[in-house]
Amino acid sequence: QVQLVESGGDSVQPGGSLRLSCAASRYIVSSYCLGWARQAPGKEREGVAGIDSDGTTDYREYVKGRFTISKDKTDNTLVLQMNSLKPEDSAMYYCAAGPCSETRYWGPLSAKGYDSWGQGTQVTVSS
């Protein structure tokens, strides 16, 4: 069973930055397609960034230029660097992993391609 453990969520002011991390096994980080999704109260979970096993990345339009997804193979973590945060970025953020055959079929920003999820980490952006 794939285990994903997120950390790094916090409360920040608008314009601030946060770095989310997701711990996983070396095999998962190297071989699976990975992504970050978020869910705000009353809304559906939505993928915001994805990274293929070949390193190709994709972002939801509203986070492009502000968020960066990356893999740190030295400590087997998936990272989401979030800059210029806005109040509308407030949500529970989830790390996800899935076979690349599925994420490529559904698209890296679709939750349908991922079959393993972390427990989530809360991000609140407020003045």
- Helices and strands (H and E) in the chain: how many: 2, 11
Cα–Cα dist 78/122, whole Å? 16
Q: Is the dihedral of CA 42, 111, 18, 4 positive or negative?
A: positive
Q: Are 98 and 40 in contact (CB under 8 A)?
A: no
95-116: average pLDDT: 95
Mean of pLDDT values over 32-59: 96
Amino acid identity at 121 = T
Residue 74's pLDDT is what? 87
Q: Examine the pLDDT at 86 and tell me if it is beyond 90.
A: yes
What is the per-residue pLDDT for 68?
98
Amino acid at 97: A
Q: Given pLDDT bands bounded at 50, 70 and 90, which one contains residue 2?
A: confident
pLDDT at 1 (0 to 100): 74
Residue 112 scores a pLDDT above 90: yes
User: What does pLDDT average to over the chain?
Assistant: 96
The rounded distance, in Å, linking the Cα atoms of 18 and 16 is 7
For residue 46 the two structure tokens come to 């939505």
Percent of the chain with pLDDT over 90: 94
